């Protein structure tokens, strides 16, 4: 635990007090909750826990956003910028989930040391994956945690190396093509350029995937070295055939938590109310699926960042998901019409590229500095004007970008993901639940000199490139 806090303190020692206070207060409330007699007292304690955790997020993450909007509407507010403590969103989310489990009676509180380590375990503290106490706490009492084996250290190093390669070699290289577009310099030089905008947006889509999945792999690898299994957070999301499937494969730990904590309760409550009256199928769908989905994705967007661009990104993903649910309920389940049958057959071929394009469109809002910057990119993406293509193509280095794009696409769509690559050794918690009965991929990693040497080569190459150029992980900002 102290090592984890020491690691966290490298960013800013002042915020160690914040995470320590958060751990102590949440632990204290969980103990009170376990001893509470009567529903009223239990609800008061749970309400206090929610208020405390949401107040931390509200102050550090959203207060500046609130006053910025007040200034825009009325003016006159001069508030000093509040620095967002690194990892606040992640460890607060985990503790809220813990409080919900204690309040509902699904879990019982553990001792203070185990709880503190669950919250502060450094491999996943900064950017996830979001771990669940039921998966983590039992592992702290195992012998493999106190005395990790040499094989665990080797396997962990190899998983870590794959993640490091994704980040340093792939994500940071894609960033060189995405940044000039999103910081405006390329569009300013080339005018409203269709090629530049789409190249930058696609480059950022790959950058975000390799950056975030790379960090998650590194976290899993570090966990293995300490004898702890963390959940894999990605399962080839860019192979998804629709946006519902995409979010079942992307940031899987977040999807699991928002489904359990937000979507399922909201949807079930709305469904019960809708079933109580005489509603048409469309109205029932609106109340039980569409509205809960959009509410949840509004919250998810706000959780990602305090800005309208993040909120709009969340709503856009929500609209895509509602559209998928609607087509499933009203089109694919009613394919008696000959035209609908043809559409159903042909849509499978286009499903993956369509979902990928939808992802690219949505993450423009995630990368842009603000809504206006995102609108500038969208304007260029929607204007197939090739008049100034000569100024943008040399700037982005179309040959190098083409090679990089081909490499990235091959890795994403042709090679096995990290779960499948290390599937022989059950190295992480598989919350995606891929079919364990499947045969291992022919390229699956083995604990032998050849495969360990390959991972060592990836690590060496990554460290060499990292010495010249290294950027922070994207999710460090959230």
Residue numbers annotated as active site:
304
| Per-residue tokens: 246 | 């995409």
Q: Is 121 helix (H, G, I), strand (E, B) or coil?
A: coil
Other Cβ atoms within 10 Å of 462 Cβ, number:
23
Helix (H, G, I), strand (E, B) or coil at 429: strand
Write phi, then psi, for 81 (nearest 5 degrees). Answer: -65, 135
What tokens does 425 get? 């050794």
Quick check: 221 and 148 in contact, CB under 8 A? Answer: no
Nearest to 257 by CA among 98, 119, 118: 98
Residue position matching structure tokens 């939808």: 358
Let me know: does 93 contact 475? Beta carbons within 8 Å. Answer: no
Beta carbons of 36 and 42 less than 8 angstroms apart: yes
How many angstroms separate the CA atoms of 380 and 234, rounded? 31
Measure CA 226 to chain center: 24
Distances from the Cα of 243 to the Cαs of 320, 464, 474, in angstroms? 6, 37, 22
Q: Nearest CA to 301 among 287, 286, 288, 318?
A: 318
CB 367 within 8 A of CB 178: yes
Token pair 């969340």 in the structure block, residue: 314
Q: Which residues of 258-290 are buried (b: 16+ CB within 10 A; e: fewer)?
A: beebbbeebbeebeeebeeeeeeeeebbbbbbb
Helices (H) and strands (E) in the chain, counts: 25, 0
Residues belonging to the chain: 478
Q: Would you call 436 helix, strand, or coil by DSSP?
A: coil
Contacts with 25 (C-beta within 8 Å, 6 or more apart), sequence order: 52
Inter-residue contact 88 to 60 (CB < 8 Å): yes
């Amino acid at each position: 635990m102290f090592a984890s806090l020491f690691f966290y303190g490298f960013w800013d020692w002042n915020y160690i007090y914040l995470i320590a206070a958060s751990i102590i207060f949440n632990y204290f409330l969980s103990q009170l909750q376990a001893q509470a007699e009567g529903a009223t007292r239990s609800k008061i304690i749970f309400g206090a826990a929610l208020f405390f955790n949401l107040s931390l997020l509200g102050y550090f993450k959203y207060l500046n956003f609130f006053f910025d909007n007040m200034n825009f509407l009325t003016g006159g507010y001069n508030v000093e910028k509040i620095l967002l403590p690194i990892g606040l969103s992640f460890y607060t989310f985990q503790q809220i989930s813990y409080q919900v489990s204690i309040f509902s009676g699904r879990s019982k509180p553990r001792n203070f040391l185990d709880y503190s380590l669950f919250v502060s375990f450094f491999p996943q503290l900064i950017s996830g994956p979001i771990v669940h106490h039921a998966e983590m706490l039992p592992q702290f009492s195992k012998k493999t945690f106190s005395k990790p084996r040499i094989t665990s250290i080797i396997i962990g190093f190899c998983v870590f190396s794959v993640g490091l390669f994704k980040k340093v070699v792939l994500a940071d290289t894609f960033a060189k093509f995405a940044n000039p577009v999103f910081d405006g310099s390329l569009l300013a030089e080339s005018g409203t350029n269709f090629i530049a905008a789409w190249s930058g947006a696609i480059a950022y889509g790959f950058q975000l995937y390799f950056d975030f999945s790379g960090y998650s792999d590194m976290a899993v690898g570090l966990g293995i070295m300490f004898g702890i299994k963390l959940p894999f957070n990605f399962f080839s999301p860019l192979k998804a055939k629709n946006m519902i499937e995409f979010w079942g494969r992307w940031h899987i730990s977040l999807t699991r938590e928002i489904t359990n904590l937000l979507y399922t309760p909201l949807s079930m409550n709305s469904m019960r109310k809708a079933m109580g009256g005489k509603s048409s199928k469309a109205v029932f769908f609106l109340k039980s699926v569409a509205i809960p989905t959009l509410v949840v994705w509004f919250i998810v967007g706000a959780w990602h960042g305090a800005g309208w661009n993040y909120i709009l990104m969340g709503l856009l993903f929500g609209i895509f998901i509602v559209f998928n649910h609607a087509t499933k309920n009203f089109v694919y389940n009613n394919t008696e019409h000959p035209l609908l049958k043809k559409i159903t057959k042909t849509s499978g071929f286009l499903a993956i590229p369509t979902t990928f394009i939808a992802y690219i469109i949505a993450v423009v809002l995630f990368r842009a500095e603000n809504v206006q910057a995102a609108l500038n990119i969208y304007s260029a993406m929607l204007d197939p004007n090739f008049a100034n293509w000569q100024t943008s193509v040399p700037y982005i280095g179309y040959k190098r970008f083409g090679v990089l794009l081909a490499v990235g696409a091959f890795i994403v769509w042709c090679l096995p993901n990290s779960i499948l690559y290390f599937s022989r050794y059950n190295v992480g918690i598989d919350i995606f639940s891929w079919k364990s009965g499947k045969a291992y991929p022919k390229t699956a990693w083995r604990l032998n000199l050849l495969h360990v040497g390959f991972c060592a080569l990836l690590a060496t190459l990554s460290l060499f490139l990292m010495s010249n150029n290294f950027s922070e992980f994207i999710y460090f900002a959230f």
